[in-house]
Structure 1
Amino acid sequence: MSTPDTSRPVAGQGGDRAVGDAGGDSEFAAHQTTGGAEAATATVIDKDYPVTPVPTHARKGFFSLAVVLLGFTVFTPTMVAGAQLGVSFNLNDLIIVIALGSLVLGAYVAALGWIGARTGLTTVVMARYTLGTRGSKLASLLLGGTQIGWYGVCIGMIGDLTAQALGWDTFAAKAAIMIAVSALMCITACYGYRGMYWVSLISTPLILVLAFWVMSRSLAEVGGWAGLAAIEPESQMSIAVAITAVVGTFVSAGTQAPNWTRFARSGRQAVIACLTGFLIGNALMIFFGAIGAITFGEGDFVLILYRMGLVGWGLFLLFGNLWKSNADAAYSFGVAGAEAFEKPSKTRFIVVGSIIGTVLALIGVHEHLPQYLGLLGTFIPPLGGVIIGDYLARWRRTQMPEGEKLPRFNLVTLGIYVVSCALAWSAGELAIGIPPVIGILAALVLSLALAKLSPKR
């Protein structure tokens, strides 16, 4: 617990900010700090407010928020996790495992999303109030760096699968594809919430229709639902490992849900939108992958469409879902960069991060990154648990007020984060329980229990 930093945090420089009442999520009320609202508003040059609370006039309706979050989770690489489950469980057990894992994931993301809506802040800016003005740089590095890595993985995937579909084997052809699609995703992210909304609104319904059609073709291969239920699993997997796989598909990205739910008009809207995306959307993609693995021996519907000779539709599914999901990733590392360097605009960080991710894809690092990034997934969920616990214990009544004097490092919460990460990692090594859930719960409980040891407000 260090000496307080008497400078105002960047998150406290906004004009209007939406807050909830101490007891629930009724209507948001406009709030201004004493003397500085007009001057602070003039410094905000980014309409997405990456380091300031989203003002009341910029809030979005439920439909808009649900479209963005559903578009975020309709992500074909999630089908790979579903494929692993599909060959390990019968139909009834498969549905139970997906439902349980999705409930855990949805509850965690919804809690963070609720806080994002009530404070109007991104995850990395909320980390300033939890970890300190300098301690929050850990969150920015962890969340932003991980998203740059996944951005590169997706760019490389698009290059490889597109070249495979079109029979282009040269590196120059793959490189041209990667650079072109990266530029498109980068531009979409620079447009911010509005750009991601329109891409998701147009592509997500079409992708879901196509995915349901492929699922119907898959069921026809095995004689419908009765035939699918009669198929015995080829391998075995414990329930704990299976639920871990479901939770792990989007728990890292879900930690950054406040990046979008901060635009919600109420905490209730944010919760329902998060459940729509992470409980329904993510569960559907896992289920699709499982059915594809059972019926065609391939969980990725893109490759199934290739095999069926529907290369054009396969490319549409590939581009459509990775475009919007990777634009979300670019947006996330953009706002993380804005917090880390304390700048009022995300654009430069989106551009630089996109370039780094594209270079990683061009040199082939994307073929080796998923395992490493998956390991980082163990260390990201406890961050969300610390933020939730610390918010409930210390900030809920005042909604992380602007101008609050914050310490440079909150050694209590930083210590809780380290201990929770160690517990989650150990659980994974020893195959005990569900590592992401253990990390989240440990961080949440310890943050609530030890809140009084944090620097006085």
Structure 2
Amino acid sequence: MSTTHEPHLDLASEYEHEPVPSTARRSLTSIAAVWFGFPMNLGNAVFGGVIVYNLGTVAGLSAILIGNLALFAYVGALSYIAGRSGKSFSQQAAATFGEKGRVAAAGFLATVVLGWFSFQIGLTGTTLRDALGWPALIGALIGGIAYTLVTIVGIRALSWLGMIAAPLFVVLAIVAIAFGASDAGMSATDIWSYRGAGTALSFGAAVSIVIAGFADSGTMTADFTRWSTSGRAAVAATFTAFPVANFLAYSIGGLVVAVGGSADPGTDGGGFLNLLTGHGVVLTAVAVAFVFINLGSVASHCLYNGAVGWSGITERGMRPVAIGLGIVGSVIAVTGVWDKFLDWLNLLGIFVPPIGAVLIIDQLVLRRRTGGAAAYRYTAFAAWALGAAAATTSHYLFPGSVDSVVGIIAGAASYGALEFARRSVGQRPALVLDGVQTEAA
């Protein structure tokens, strides 16, 4: 399938069904803006506040940094593959899990990110309600429509939005922390010596939260970084997100808690919109715009991931799929079901990372080449299952362990061992092609 890239059009090709050609690749600044603007969101500030509330400033920020370094290693490797090949996550999954097998991997993650999209819509409504008294339903509906419209413009819109959302987040966060510190009479020494007051999280659990927060979209990084000019450029763009932007977002939330700026830090964490209201009409208006820009950046990224994933599976265009998923996600959000997603989505740190680990070993370490004929590859599915099983065991039997890292290591080791065993005995994995059992090329 051949398409022509028209950079002057807002609705140019998104290359849903083929690798992005070299003529359509985008600059490092553009792709960095896509990734850098994604983690800079109020949700991550909330999580960062919860972590610091439980561990204290120094230990909390240390856990946040370690989690981000782990994310960089994981997402950076997947981004390198994407920048080198130009393939989306769905196309990557087809090479590793099989043309039909990719439905399980890509479909799973493309559905998971729809949950995050709904969460951001719901968070838009409740944030505006709590800070300004707006009806939550109205805020959520406006957000759902606006975020879907941004998504259908494509990768260019995500880049533009990131260039606005990230700087605005940093500036308003500094203002909020200054207000919080002033109201509480806190000094810099007081902030750094804050020891926390919660007991719900261990250090390892805090690291797991950081990794799990981007386990899904991080694994699907290829949908963004396939537009990079090279593998190295894709890694550089990823670095701006992990550790830079994600660490800043979490840390800002942690500092909000440390200065006493959160009324209920154990639940609300480091959300700081409340610190920006009540200081005049202008700042309040900016705060309202900030909610839509900030949460819209996250929601649009998630919907883009979901739309590219399902368009690859269904062989339909990204934009019609995005509109359909946007409607579904908005309905889920306004019914209030989104509020039940958070704990479940965080558990995806157990089930998602082994998928990326298998892709990394298959396409970066073993450098396997496929002609795309395989329907299913059982070694990839077995390694995914073993990695998830190891992470689940770690989660329940060894509280405080970093489940995501356990799953990555176990998935990678399992796949490497299974492929080594298969090649050692001279066997090829049995595949099913159009109902006929055969062997892989």
Query: In which range does the TM-score fall when normalised by the shorter chain?
Result: 0.7 to 0.9
More displaced, 382-391 or 201-210?
201-210
Q: Which residue of 1 aligns with 2:404?
A: 436
Match of 1:148 among 99, 110, 114: 114
1:424 and 2:394 aligned: no
Contact (CA 8 Å) 2:81, 2:364: kept in 1 or not? no
* 250-259 or 447-456, larger mean C-alpha shift: 447-456
Q: What secondary structure is seen at the aligned counterpart in 2 of 1:265?
A: coil
Aligned to 1:407: 374
Q: Which segment is superposed worse, 245-254 or 190-199?
A: 245-254
- The 3 A distance-change label for structure 1 pair 308 and 55 is same
Q: 2:306 aligns with which of 330, 333, 338?
A: 333
**1:220-241 CA-partner distances (Å, limit 9, x unpaired):** 4453321212333213442211
What is the alpha-carbon distance in structure 2 between the residues aligned to residue 168 and residue 215 of structure 1?
Answer: 24
RMSD of aligned Cα (Å): 2.3
Distance 1:177 1:223, change over 3 A: closer
Write out aligned runs for 1:298-317 (5 A): 298=265, 299-306=270-277, 310-317=283-290
Structure 2 CA distance for partners of 1:247 and 1:222, relative to 1, 3 Å: farther
Residues 1:77 and 2:43 aligned together: yes
Residues 1:318 and 2:291 aligned together: yes
Does the Cα contact within 8 Å between 2:94 and 2:102 map onto a contact in 1?
yes
Distance in 2, matches of 1:97 and 1:138, equals 32
Three-state SS of the structure 2 residue aligned to 1:406 is coil
Post-superposition Cα deviations, 1:136-159, rounded to whole Å, max 9, x if no partner, equal 001222111111111111111112
Give the drift of 1:433: 2.2
Structure 1 letter corresponding to 2:273 = V
Kept after mapping to 2: 8 A contact 1:222/1:228 = no
Moved beyond 4 Å, runs of 4+: 13-16, 307-310
Matched residue type, 1:422:
A
User: Whole-Å Cα distance in 2 between the matches of residues 123 and 148 of structure 1?
Assistant: 16
Cα deviation, residue 391, structure 1: 0.8
Secondary structure of the residue aligned to 1:88 is: helix
The change in CA–CA distance for 1:326 and 1:135 in structure 2 (over 3 A counts) is: same
Q: How far did 1:213 drift?
A: 2.3
CA contact (8 A) 1:392 1:448 kept: no
* 1:130 matches 2:96: yes
Provide the C-alpha distance between the structure 1 equivalents of 2:68 and 2:356, rounded to a whole number of angstroms.
17
Residue 214 of structure 1 deviates from its aligned partner by 1.9
Distance (Å, rounded) in 2 between the aligned partners of 1:218 and 1:166: 18
SS at 1:67's partner residue?
helix
1:307 CA displacement: 6.5
Counterpart-to-counterpart distance in 2, 1:222 and 1:282:
28
1:147-196 CA-to-partner distances (Å, cap 9, x unmatched) read: 11111111111122223444344xxxx43432332222112111111111
Give how far 1:204 is off. 2.0
- 1: CA distance between counterparts of 2:250 and 2:134? 30
The equivalent residue for 1:161 is 127
Counterpart amino acid of 1:129? A
> For 1:293, which of 257, 262, 277 is the aligned residue?
257
Which whole-Å CA distance do the structure 1 matches of 2:349 and 2:195 have between them?
Answer: 32
- 1:93 is matched with 59
Counting matched residue pairs gives 408
State whether residues 116 and 258 of structure 1, in contact with CA within 8 Å, keep that contact through their aligned partners in structure 2.
yes
Partners of 1:328 and 1:176 in 2: CA distance: 22
* Aligned residue number for residue 261 of structure 1: 225
Q: What is the letter of the counterpart of residue 353 of structure 1?
A: L
Does residue 1:109 correspond to 2:75, yes or no? yes
20, 26, 39: which one aligns with 1:54: 20
In structure 2, distance between residues paired with 1:252 and 1:438 = 16
Query: Cα distance, 1:416 vs. partner?
Result: 0.8
Deviates more, 1:289-298 or 1:320-329: 289-298
Deviation at 1:207, TM superposition (A): 2.0
**Is the 8 Å Cα contact of residues 205 and 400 (structure 2) preserved in structure 1?**
no
- Shift, 1:46, TM fit: 6.1
Partner of 1:8: none
1:230 aligns with 2:193: yes
Structure 1 residue 58, shift from structure 2 partner = 0.6
Partner of 2:244: 280
Contact 1:50 1:335 in 2 (8 A): yes
User: Higher mean Cα deviation, 378-387 or 217-226?
Assistant: 217-226
Q: TM-score, normalised by structure 2?
A: 0.87
Deviation at 1:294, TM superposition (A): 2.1
Q: Give me the TM-score of the superposition, normalised by structure 1.
A: 0.84
Counting only pairs closer than 5 Å after superposition, residues 377-396 of structure 1 correspond to structure 2 as 377-395=349-367
- Given that 1:302 and 1:317 are in contact with CA atoms closer than 8 Å, whether structure 2 keeps it comes out as no
Shift of 1:61: 1.1
